[in-house]
Amino acid sequence: MAWGAKGLTASFGVVLMLAGWSPVVWGQAPRPPVAPFQNLNALTRLKGTVVCVGCTLDEVQCARAASGSLYELHSARGEAVLRVDEVDDAARWASITQGRQLTVRAAAPVLQALTAEENRFKELEITGLLSSDRTFDVAQVRVLG
C-alpha cells in the first residue's frame, strides 16, 4: 500500500511539473504573425518606358511630356521618370508605390541599361524585387521595342 501511495504521489508530481512547463498554461502559446512574410521582397515584372532621365516627376507633369502611371526613380545615377504600362502584381505594386517615388538599386550595367539614352521611350521589361519600403532592386532590364 505504501508503494502505491508513493507511486501515485510521484505520478501526480510529474503531471503537475509537465503542466506547469506547458506554454499554454502560462498564456504564452506561440502565435503566428498577423501577415506571415509581409516584409519579404516579392519578384516583380513590369513593362514601361523611361520618359526622362535627370528630371523629377513634377517637371514631367508640368511640361505634360508624358501621361499615364508615372513614377520617380531615385538611384545612384540620379533621378529618372518611368511610365508603367503593365505590372504582373498590380494590387501589390499599387499598395507599395502610393507615393509614386521608388528607390532603385541595381548593378552598374543594369542601371546603365535602364537610364541609357538609346533606350529612352522604348518599351522595357524590368524585373526585380520590390520591398515594402519602396525599394526596387532591379535584376534585369530587357528592351522590347
Q: pLDDT tens for residues 18-36?
A: 666 555 554 544 444 444 5
In the 8-state DSSP scheme, what is residue 100?
S
Distance CA 93, CA 75 (A): 19
Beta carbons of 51 and 66 less than 8 angstroms apart: yes
Beta pairing partners, 72: 81, 101
Backbone phi, then psi, for 137, in 5-degree steps?
-90, 100
pLDDT at 106: 94
Cα separation, 127 vs 133, in Å, equals: 17
Q: Rounded to whole angstroms, how far apart are CA atoms 84 and 5?
A: 79
Residue type for position 141: V
For residue 17, pLDDT over 70 is answered with: no
What is the gyration radius of the CA atoms in the chain, in angstroms?
A: 28
pLDDT over threshold 80, residue 5: no
Q: What is the pLDDT of residues 92-145, one digit of tens each?
A: 888 888 888 999 999 999 999 999 999 999 999 999 999 888 999 999 999 996
89: burial class by Cβ within 10 Å (0-12, 13-18, 19+)?
Answer: middle
Give residue limits of the domains in the chain: 1-31, 42-143
The per-residue pLDDT for range 60-90, each reduced to its tens digit, is 888 876 777 899 999 988 999 999 999 998 8
CA–CA separation, 141 and 109 (whole Å): 10
Does position 2 have pLDDT exceeding 90, yes or no? no
